[in-house]
Amino acid sequence: MTLVARPDGAILHSDISGNGPPLLLITGLSGRAAFWDAALPLLAGRTLIRFDQRGIGRSSRGTARMDVACIAEDALAVLDAHGIATADVLGHSMGGVTAQTIAAVAPQRVRKLILSGTWHRSDTYMRVQFAMRRRVLASDPVAYVQIGALLGFSPDWVAAHPPAPDASEADATVIGERIDALMAFDGAALPPPAAPVLIIGTGDDRVVPPNLQQALHAALPGSTLHMLDGGGHFYPATRAAEFADVVNEFLGAVA
């Protein structure tokens, strides 16, 4: 574990494991490094960097604005703390819009870019969904966690893995800020990535539906689109082996 101090007082907890070409893993709205637990052993042969985002898990909030640009700056600071100048970057959901931002503001830091379960511009479905989730979060954080599980996983997965009602008031405040940040993102304001881009999605994603991955693919000429057969929004956990195979193939062989 490496602690990364930010100028505004936030302390980010980051983890690094493995050996080989570096791959930065950026989690979505939950912000927790543990999101990647299922996929991590399947990405062997690489140096894997992940972190709890500010105000989430082991990382403190600090006083900086909470927007996608700030999270991108945090991610670059994590790379700096580990002495990594250039990395492959993989972002899922909100992590995907963060990854797009990194590729725009620091293109020299990104070798290849993987955008998973994410979007270029939100649509009416996403705006209605997250406005509803924001209202539920404000009144009942436990119900918010349950709704997120129902949207993100298949019914059989939820039956086998009941969502834990552990959302605290502090968590609700930070997650609310993060929802506002993700809804403010507009990829049309960014230059297209210079790095090769892989876009991954699945046909049964009810959080970020497949039409948004298709729109992202259309907005980034030269990108590659790979749609999985299923797995819900959280397919890096529920379909970890298939997900890792797609990632490894795009990134290329490692020694």
When pLDDT is cut at 50, 70 and 90, the band that residue 166 belongs to is low
Q: What is the DSSP letter of 34?
A: G
C-alpha 254/C-alpha 45 separation (Å) is 6
- ∠ CA 250-253-255 to the nearest 5 degrees? 150
Contact criterion met (CB below 8 Å) for 88 and 111: yes
How confident is the model at residue 163, as a pLDDT? Answer: 83
Could you report the per-residue pLDDT of 221-244, keeping only the tens digit for each? 999 999 999 999 999 999 999 999
Instruction: Kindly tell me the number of DSSP H helices and DSSP E strands found in the chain.
Output: 9, 8
Is 79's pLDDT higher than 70? Answer: yes
In 3-state terms, what secondary structure has residue 15? strand
Give the chain's domains with CATH numbers: 2-120+191-251 (3.40.50.1820)
Predicted TM-score (pTM) of this structure: 0.96
Is 255's pLDDT higher than 80? Answer: no
Is 165's pLDDT higher than 70? Answer: no
C-alpha 12/C-alpha 35 separation (Å) is 16
Could you report the per-residue pLDDT of 168-217, keeping only the tens digit for each? 555 889 999 999 999 999 999 999 999 999 999 999 999 999 999 999 99
* Cβ neighbours, 10 Å, residue 165: 11
C-alpha 144/C-alpha 10 separation (Å) is 26
